[in-house]
Amino acid sequence: MKLLLSLFAFMFYNLLVTVCLSNEWIEDTWVIDHQETDYTIASVNGKITHGDRLRVRFTKNNCSVGNLFTTVYTMADNPNLAEVSEQFTSATFMDQEIVAKILFVMPFLNGHTMWIDLGWIPKEELIKILLQDDEIFLQFKDDKDFKVTDYMDISENFWKTNNLREALEEASDLCSAL
C-alpha cells in the first residue's frame, strides 16, 4: 500500500512540475493544463491561495465522468501532517456539505501540499454544479473525527468559472480521443 501511495504521490508531483513548466495558464480562467496517454485535466487557479488549483480529470475509457480534486498548501507546523493521507474531512462545497478525502501529503517549498479528492461526477452534472455561481467556493471544516484546522492554516479557497464549460468539454473530448 505504501508503494502504491508513493507511486501515486510521485505521479501527481510529476504532473505538477510538468504543468508548471510546459503549459500556459490564464489567470482566473479554466484551461486544459495537462494531457497524458490515459487522462486529461482542466483547471483554474485559486483566488485565496493562487497555486491551489481546482482540477477536473477525465480518464481514458471513462471520459464522461470528471474527477474533481484540488490541493491545499499549508505551512501548519504539525508533526503528524504526513499521517493524514487517506483521511476523510468535512467540507462545504457550493453550499453543500460534502466529505472529501485527503489522498496524500507532500513536502513543498516551506510547507506541505495536500492533494484532496472531491469525488467523481458525471460531466454534465459537474458543469451544472460548478456554474451555479460566478465563483466556486470550498471550505474544509473541523468535525468530531478530524480537526482540519490542526493541519491547514488556510482552510478555504474559491475559484472563478470563466471558460469552465468550454474547458471541461474540451478536456472530455481530448480524453475520448486517447
pLDDT at position 23, please? 52
Tell me the pLDDT tens digit for each residue of 81-115. Answer: 989 999 999 999 999 999 999 999 999 999 999 99
| 129: confidence class by pLDDT, cuts 50, 70, 90 | very high
> What residues does 73 pair with on adjacent strands?
113
pLDDT at position 102, please? 97
Q: For 107-162, where are the alpha helices, taking DSSP H only? A: 123-130
DSSP-assigned letter for residue 30: -
CA torsion angle 102 93 131 171 (round to 10): 10
Tell me the pLDDT tens digit for each residue of 48-88. Answer: 999 999 999 999 999 999 999 999 999 988 899 989 999 99
From the number of C-beta atoms within 10 Å of its C-beta (0-12, 13-18, 19+), residue 64 rates as exposed
CA distances from 145 to 90, 118, 124 (A): 9, 18, 33
Q: What is the mean pLDDT of residues 110-133?
A: 97
pLDDT at position 2, please? 54
Q: Which residue is it, cell 495537462? A: 34
3-state SS, 38-67, equals CEEEEEECCCCCCCCCEEEEEECCEEEEEE
CA torsion angle 145 150 151 154 (round to 10): 110
pLDDT at position 104, please? 96
Distance CA 62, CA 130 (A): 20
Cα atoms found within 13 Å of the Cα of residue 6, Cβ hemisphere only: 3
The angle formed by the CA atoms of residues 65, 70 and 71, to the nearest 5 degrees, is 155
